[in-house]
Amino acid sequence: MPTTPLNSHPLTPCELIRRFTVRAHKTPDGVFALEYTIEGEIGGLRLPEPSAACRTDGLWRHTCFEAFLMHGQGYYEFNFAPSTEWAVYHFDAYRDGMSIVRQARPPKISLTLDAQRLVLKAWADLNGLSVHSESVAPKLALSAVIEEKCGRVSYWAIVHPSDRPDFHHPDGFALIL
């Protein structure tokens, strides 16, 4: 499982983070496994309090780790919060036809942190979602929203294809799962 760096959008730097990487792969049994690692001044980040692992909308408004899987014209958006809250959405096309994916099984999310390192791991079951194809592997975009205790927000992704942060942009799907 190779490590991929995430970069902050030029308009939203975060001096607290020295290094931000993510590793992602699909297991043989159809589980999407992700590991986000932040190195830096973790104490300066605003992290939500631990809570019940439940589906919650609006997680992207605060510190949240995201993954997007494109299949054909449509794509899925996965949100994983350090609180263990989560959400899965489907879009028919670029920012169009958004719907909650009710058949998604709750992902497993774990968080470990200390003063200099945060690691969020997430396992999402892809079985039952339309990302399986024998002929075409889904394209992948990985990203995160990071909120600092001072209220500043930074947007992180593999690539930033537009002048404003936009995790949904088709050119942001830079990897193959």
pLDDT for position 136? 59
pLDDT band per the 50, 70, 90 thresholds, residue 132 = low
**Per-residue pLDDT reduced to its tens digit, 111-121:** 999 989 999 99
More confident residue, 146 or 135: 146
**Per-residue pLDDT reduced to its tens digit, 21-35:** 999 988 888 888 999
SS (H, E, C) 140-169: EEEEEEEEECCCCEEEEECCCCCCCCCCCC
**Per-residue pLDDT reduced to its tens digit, 62-108:** 999 999 998 878 899 999 999 999 999 999 988 888 889 988 889 99
Model confidence at 133: pLDDT above 60: no
Distances (CA, A) of 154 to 34, 64, 134, 148: 20, 11, 37, 8
Please state which architecture CATH assigns to domain 3-176. Answer: Sandwich (2.60)
Contact 40, 26 (CB under 8 A): no
134, 124, 116, 126: which is closest to 37 by C-alpha?
116
The pair of three-digit structure tokens given for residue 13, joined into one six-digit string: 């730097």
β-strand partners of 159: none
